[in-house]
Amino acid sequence: MTPSTAELVRVFGRIGLLSFGGPAAQISLMHQELVENRPWLDEQTYLRALSLCMLLPGPEAMQLATYAGWRLRGVTGGLIAGALFVLPGACVIAILVGLYAAYGDLPLVQAGFLGVKATVIVIVLQALRNLSRKALTDTQHRAIAGLGFLAIFALNLPFPLIILAAAIWGYVTFDGQPRAEAITPAPKVTGTFRTAAFWLLIWLGPLLALTLTGQKLLSDLGWFFARLAVVTFGGAYAVLAYMTQTVVDKYHWVSTDQMIDALGLAETTPGPLILVTQFVAMLTGQMTGGASLAIAAGAVALWATFVPCFLWIFLAAPYLDQLAARPRLSAALHGITASVVGVILNLSVWFSLNVLFQKIPEASWGPVTLPWPDLTSLNPAALLLALLAGLLIFRFKFGMATTLAIMAAIGTGLHFV
């Protein structure tokens, strides 16, 4: 079924407004909207696309939305879906920067955010349950997911290494029969080169113009976030340490405390967590030259961070069906999808610990390093809010948007208790 442009705008606009909770919740939300609620994508196409997006640098959920839009209505659909996934969160971030710059730590707002964060814990658990049911279809893939979780959670292995190992395992252990159907013809190489050249020019041309016109701060912001976009494998968490070190210690754009606040605020807005780049850029611009420079800096950060996502998808998407038609390559993609479940479980555990506990020292046993929460630092309010959110979602079947609004109000109310 091919939706109209108006339908595409309506559905992806809804996804963009409700895309709280990080990649696990966002991937689950898109699965519900695009596979379960309407016959736009079938299960296998969705899972193959997810595997592809996990292989690419950048926010995988935003790229998955872009792929879905491209699949449904070509390049125009991809642009609509990708933009609508990012813009609601970007607007919220812009507002939060203004409030943050004016009112500091905003204790009342932070109290409301605690209710949202507690709800996100439950949303991610729900998303993991739904995704694992679809992706972990046999013992082998459940084992891959478990090993992927242990590799990143306990051994701190690089994410690209984990998905590479899962792909190789899926490829070499495939024991099915070759498919009889013909392989989808490959796209023309000339078209691929034209796509690459066009989107590279669109992406990097404005940054070069900023450099040539002497806009040092905007140029530095743009080139840094462009470099970050190339190495962001495995989601924003994979590069947050590098980003923090660079913006705090090298460029001195923000302080450590401001960086932590930026991450906390970005976690509670719709859209990809990597929108933290916009927050950092806008706060830097606000402190350096006021509101006008903040707006310009935010636009540069958004451009440098998200335009390459269109480049990667429009280059790789035409080859996905051809790769999937080859059984061993399809098995490799399935292996990647299974490992992604384990990696998202790691993100879920990390997020839950950081919401529920104030102190999380690490404990080491040889090569194994685990976050070990200080039980005396448990935040009772966060735990109570998380349990209440669980009741609303799992017991009473409240929707995501309704639950988030209720929990934000309750969190704000606790501020006065």
Across the range 110-129, mean pLDDT stands at 79
Is residue 365 included in any domain, yes or no?
Answer: no
Q: Minimum mean pLDDT among 3-12, 61-70, 179-188: which range?
A: 179-188
What is the chain's length?
417
Q: What is the pLDDT of residue 235?
A: 58
Q: What is the pLDDT of residue 406?
A: 93
Q: Are 90 and 271 in contact (CB under 8 A)?
A: yes
Measured CA to CA, the distance from residue 278 to residue 300 in angstroms comes to: 8
Across the range 107-119, mean pLDDT stands at 79
∠ CA 237-239-243, rounded to 5°? 120
Q: Are 279 and 118 in contact (CB under 8 A)?
A: no
Q: What is the chain's Cα-based Rg?
A: 21
Maximum mean pLDDT: which of 33-47, 180-194, 244-258, 328-342: 33-47
Measured CA to CA, the distance from residue 279 to residue 291 in angstroms comes to: 13
Number of domains in the chain: 1
Per-residue model confidence as pLDDT tens digits over 155-167: 878 767 888 898 8
Closest CA to 202 of 304, 281, 63, 62: 304
| pLDDT at residue 371 greater than cutoff 90 | no
Q: Which residue has the tokens 């950092």?
A: 280
Q: Which residue has the tokens 């090569």?
A: 367
The residue among 291 and 104 whose pLDDT is bigger is 291
Question: 184: phi > 0 → left, psi -120 to 50 → alpha, else beta; which?
Answer: beta
Is residue 366 included in any domain, yes or no?
Answer: no
Q: Based on the number of CB atoms within 10 Å of its own CB, is 354 exposed (0-12), middle (13-18) or buried (19 or more)?
A: middle
Is residue 312 included in any domain, yes or no?
Answer: yes
Across the range 408-417, mean pLDDT stands at 88
Q: Are 332 and 221 in contact (CB under 8 A)?
A: no
Q: What is the pLDDT of residue 182?
A: 46
Measured CA to CA, the distance from residue 209 to residue 9 in angstroms comes to: 32
Per-residue model confidence as pLDDT tens digits over 326-359: 778 778 877 887 887 887 787 678 778 878 998 8
Across the range 76-81, mean pLDDT stands at 97
Is residue 362 included in any domain, yes or no?
Answer: no
Q: What is the pLDDT of residue 108?
A: 77
Is residue 363 included in any domain, yes or no?
Answer: no
Give the list of residues 6+ apart from residue 149 with CB closer than 8 angstroms, or none. Answer: 342, 343, 345, 346
Q: What is the pLDDT of residue 101?
A: 85
Domain residues for the domain of 296 are: 1-356+371-417
Give the list of residues 6+ apart from residue 391 with CB closer than 8 angstroms, or none. Answer: none
42-45 own/partner pairs: CB under 8 Å, 24+ apart: 43/134, 44/324, 45/71
Q: What is the pLDDT of residue 76?
A: 96
Three-state SS annotation for the chain: CCCCHHHHHHHHHHHHHHCCCHHHHHHHHHHHHHHHCCCCCCHHHHHHHHHHHHHCCCCHHHHHHHHHHHHHHHHHHHHHHHHHHHHHHHHHHHHHHHHHHHHCCCHHHHHHHHHHHHHHHHHHHHHHHHHHHHHCCCHHHHHHHHHHHHHHHCCCCCHHHHHHHHHHHHHHCCCCCCCCCCCCCCCCHHHHHHHHHHHHHHHHHHHHHHHHCCCHHHHHHHHHHHHHHHHCCCCHHHCHHHHHHHHHHHCCCCCHHHHHHHHHHHHCCCCCHHHHHHHHHHHHHHHHHCHHHHHHHHHHHHHHHHHHHHHHHHHHHHHHHHHHCCHHHHHHHHHHHHHHHHHHHHHHHHHHHHHHECCCCEEEECCEEEECCCHHHECHHHHHHHHHHHHHHHHCCCCHHHHHHHHHHHHHHHCCC
Is residue 222 included in any domain, yes or no?
Answer: yes
Q: What is the pLDDT of residue 212?
A: 96
Q: What is the pLDDT of residue 299?
A: 97
Q: What is the pLDDT of residue 241?
A: 60
Measured CA to CA, the distance from residue 193 to residue 234 in angstroms comes to: 26
Across the range 268-279, mean pLDDT stands at 87
Q: Which amino acid is at 369?
A: T
| pLDDT at residue 104 greater than cutoff 80 | no
Is residue 156 included in any domain, yes or no?
Answer: yes
Q: What is the pLDDT of residue 180?
A: 47
Q: Minimum mean pLDDT among 51-55, 63-67, 263-267: which range?
A: 263-267
Maximum mean pLDDT: which of 73-82, 159-168, 265-274: 73-82
Across the range 106-134, mean pLDDT stands at 78
Give the list of residues 6+ apart from residue 35 with CB closer than 8 angstroms, or none. Answer: 41, 42, 43, 46
Is residue 227 included in any domain, yes or no?
Answer: yes
Measured CA to CA, the distance from residue 343 to residue 152 in angstroms comes to: 7
CA 370: distance to chain centroid? 23
Measured CA to CA, the distance from residue 296 to residue 312 in angstroms comes to: 25
Both tokens of residue 195?
């796509």
Q: What is the pLDDT of residue 186?
A: 66
